[in-house]
Structure 1
């Protein structure tokens, strides 16, 4: 996987899982969540907990992260 670390827009499904991802002006429909986990953050560095998802969006396999406090989504990594 290649590190990206760029902000993205994510729309949720009615069930509350990621359903659509917009990255670099391109929209990707998410067909499935392959894995999900909660990262607690390095509190001693001021990081807040975040929800992480590994998603399949067409040919794109991506790891996206969500911080609830500032409601911020970003693309952490893509499969290369």
Structure 2
């Protein structure tokens, strides 16, 4: 699994769920139901002070695990990616690329 942080453009449904994305200039379509969770961040090490009323996004990162296929052909094995959305700016980052699981052959 690769772990890094790279900007990615994400297009969402009206409810905020990832639907399509553009990564490294290539469009992808989400091909399975995404999963969302939150991870605690070290806000005390990253922020000088917490402005009054800045609770959402200060303590937790919103993370989405999505399976995507390249457009327009949408053929081949899907990629599994972890994306993070910064609640204040609405910007998305690609955090992890999961290795594909391939069945072992004899």
Shared fold by TM > 0.5? yes
Structure 1: gaps of 5 or more residues: none
Contact (CA 8 Å) 1:33, 1:54: kept in 2 or not? no
Deviation at 1:7, TM superposition (A): 0.5
Larger radius of gyration between Structure 1 and Structure 2: 2
Aligned length: 80
Q: Please state if 1:56 is matched with 2:75.
A: no
Aligned Cα root-mean-square deviation (Å) = 1.6
Q: Which residue of 2 aligns with 1:32?
A: 32
Deviation at 1:65, TM superposition (A): 0.3
Task: Go from structure 1 to structure 2 and tell me whether the alpha carbon gap of 1:4 and 1:46 turns closer, same or farther (over 3 Å shift).
Answer: closer
The secondary structure found in structure 2 opposite 1:45 is helix
2:92 is aligned, of 59, 62, 73, to: 73
Q: Which residue of 2 aligns with 1:43?
A: 43
Contact (CA 8 Å) 1:33, 1:53: kept in 2 or not? no
Give the ranges of 4+ consecutive aligned residues of structure 1 lying more than 3 Å apart after TM superposition: none
Structure 2: gaps of 5 or more residues: 48-57, 70-77, 100-106
